[in-house]
């Protein structure tokens, strides 16, 4: 799900966007075979009507393209335009075909888009890896946040094998091509750091490059940010780069920096005991950390329990710059616009959120994304919900690939906000770097091979 070009136009030029929508709808209707029957028009009249609408549509598009920021509205973007998306680090678009794979690498400051063949991976391999992760999550009893895990589960070897395959066949070749592996780290990064290079503790995150992954097909549901051979040293992607995701390059083009707002207004939403759903006691601690970090740094408003109604939350999202949603959520697999967050008086879906035109929003932290009870499919709804928040106007989203452990969520949120609220900026990669550090702390706490607990956390956007 992405914010449409007309939605972007409507946020600054609503009348022009409304005219374009109207003429586009009329033009679509005029080209349908039912027009003659509906309007009882002659063939000549119909052709003239279509011609007038087409001219009107062309004139409106030309008018819109004369506006700053809309030069390529509803048209294909050239390579130079796409390169602008790589403002804060390289973007790696991975195209999965049934029997092979390719990467297109967009680097900052370069007009050249590099091509790298990845012959050892394919759409078929991605589907197989996805199936293995699904099975592993079921065996590890990772379902809903708040559901108590019975007994201790050993590190899952199947997830480890998937991460190793992603490392060897996709991620490492990309890092090698960009010269981000050991020789580059030792040769360049060490010149700017007084610390000793250690791959256990890694290079300081401020000195790492920031890669934004744009995978396609089944690869979109696989954790490239956690790729690594965990039986071998110096073989984890997070030792070499911070990872973020984007659904498309144009999603990054529409996101600027909120660096001008060093005191973002933050909304915290929590549902520790949603009627009819599993209790989430960790959300109370989670919002407590957020409130503590906000003191004397920013304006903070909290809606929890019975105060967290659909109308109250939606109205507050309109007013505040950042939003933190700590609640249950579910994905509608048939209609992603009905994917929803569970609040005190019902659900708030993406359709309702996207009816609002949010302008220049910063971070949406979705500590909410898990499957519906009984759903054994890979819980991919975090990607859909996160993309929906990008569409709504948030430039940066933290979410999860599958349900997180309730006790882990406060730990990660505490670390993220502790770092982000030092300067209150997002949009230049700050949220991705903060999550990178927070997950490193969680990994150290729970164990590197507890993949089910630290792998799901992801950053999407800028």
The pLDDT of residue 74? 80
Q: How far apart are CA 242 and CA 362, in angstroms?
A: 19
Task: Spell out the per-residue pLDDT of the chain, length 462, in tens.
Answer: 445 677 778 878 989 999 998 988 888 776 544 444 455 555 566 778 888 988 999 999 999 999 987 887 887 767 777 788 888 899 999 999 888 899 999 998 888 899 999 999 999 999 999 999 988 888 876 645 555 554 445 447 899 999 999 999 999 999 999 999 864 445 444 433 443 333 333 445 567 899 999 999 899 999 999 999 999 999 999 999 999 999 888 888 765 544 445 689 999 999 999 888 888 999 999 999 999 999 988 999 999 999 999 999 999 999 999 999 999 998 887 787 888 999 999 999 998 998 887 878 999 999 975 532 333 344 334 457 888 898 888 999 999 988 888 899 999 999 999 999 987 778 788 999 999 999 999 999 999 999 999 999 999 998
> Is the four-CA dihedral 403, 406, 408, 409 of positive or negative sign?
positive
Q: Tell which residue, 340, 293, 441, has the closest CA to residue 457.
A: 441
Going from N- to C-terminal start, the domains of the chain cover 5-65, 81-252, 258-461
Q: What architecture is the 258-461 domain classified under in CATH?
A: 3-Layer(aba) Sandwich (3.40)
Give the pLDDT score at 43.
Answer: 59
Please count the other Cβ atoms lying within 10 Å of the Cβ belonging to residue 271.
24
What is the C-alpha separation between 310 and 316, in angstroms, rounded?
Answer: 10
Q: What is the reported pLDDT for 194?
A: 40
According to DSSP, the β-strands at 210-215 and 300-304 are unpaired
Helices 408-420 and 430-446, interaxial angle, to 10°? 140
Cβ-contact 241, 429 below 8 angstroms: no
Q: What's the rounded Cα separation, in Å, for the pair 311 and 435?
A: 30
Cβ-based burial of 198 (10 A; exposed 0-12, middle 13-18, buried ≥19): exposed
What pTM did the predictor assign? 0.81
What's residue 147's pLDDT?
Answer: 53
Which H helix or E strand runs over 374?
A: none
Phi-psi region of 151 (alpha: psi -120 to 50; beta: other; left: phi over 0): left
Measured CA to CA, the distance from residue 300 to residue 277 in angstroms comes to 27
Biggest CA-to-CA distance, the chain: 81
Q: Which of 245, 268, 380 is nearest to 316 (CA)?
A: 268
Q: Give SS3 for 412.
A: helix
Compute the distance between CA of residue 225 and CA of residue 242 in angstroms, rounded to an integer.
8
DSSP letter for each residue of 186-198: HHTGGGG--SPP-
Strands (E), 159-226: 210-215
């Amino acid at each position: 799900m992405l914010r449409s070009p007309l939605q972007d136009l409507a946020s600054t030029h609503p009348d022009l966007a409304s005219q374009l929508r109207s003429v586009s709808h009329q033009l679509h209707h005029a080209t349908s075979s039912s027009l003659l029957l509906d309007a009882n028009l002659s063939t000549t009249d119909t052709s003239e009507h279509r011609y007038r609408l087409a001219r009107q549509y062309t004139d409106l598009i030309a008018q819109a393209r004369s506006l700053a920021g809309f030069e390529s509205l509803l048209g294909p973007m050239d390579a130079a335009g796409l390169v602008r998306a790589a403002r804060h680090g390289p973007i790696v678009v991975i195209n999965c075909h049934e029997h092979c794979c390719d990467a297109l690498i967009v680097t900052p400051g370069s007009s050249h888009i590099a091509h790298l063949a990845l012959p050892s991976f394919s759409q078929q391999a991605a589907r197989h890896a996805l199936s293995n992760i699904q099975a592993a999550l079921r065996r590890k009893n990772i379902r809903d946040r708040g559901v108590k895990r019975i007994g201790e589960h050993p590190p899952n070897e199947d997830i480890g094998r998937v991460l190793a395959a992603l490392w060897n066949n996709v991620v490492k070749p990309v890092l090698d091509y960009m010269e981000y592996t050991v020789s580059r780290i030792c040769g360049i990064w060490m010149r700017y750091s007084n610390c000793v290079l250690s791959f256990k503790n890694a290079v300081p995150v401020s000195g790492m490059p920031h890669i934004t992954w744009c995978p396609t097909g089944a690869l979109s549901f696989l954790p490239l940010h956690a790729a690594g051979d965990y039986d071998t040293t110096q073989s984890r992607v997070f030792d070499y780069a911070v990872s973020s995701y984007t659904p498309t390059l144009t999603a990054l083009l529409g996101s600027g920096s909120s660096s001008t707002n060093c005191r973002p207004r933050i909304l915290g939403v929590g549902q520790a005991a949603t009627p009819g759903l599993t209790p989430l006691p960790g959300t109370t601690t989670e919002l407590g950390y957020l409130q503590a970090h906000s003191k004397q740094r920013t304006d903070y408003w909290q809606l929890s329990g019975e105060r967290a109604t659909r109308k109250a939350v939606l109205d507050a999202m309109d007013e505040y710059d950042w939003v933190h949603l700590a609640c249950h959520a579910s994905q509608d697999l048939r209609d992603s616009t009905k994917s929803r967050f569970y609040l005190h008086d019902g659900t708030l879906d993406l359709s309702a959120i996207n009816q609002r035109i949010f302008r220049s929003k910063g971070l949406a932290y979705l500590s909410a994304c898990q499957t519906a009870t009984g759903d054994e499919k890979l819980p991919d709804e975090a990607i859909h919900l996160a993309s929906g928040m990008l569409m709504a106007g948030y430039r940066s989203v933290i979410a999860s690939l599958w349900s997180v452990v309730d006790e882990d969520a406060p730990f990660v949120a505490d670390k993220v906000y502790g770092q982000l609220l030092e300067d209150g900026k997002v949009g230049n990669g700050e949220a991705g770097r903060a999550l990178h550090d927070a997950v490193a702390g969680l990994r150290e706490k729970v164990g590197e091979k507890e993949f089910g607990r630290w792998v799901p956390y992801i950053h999407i956007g800028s």
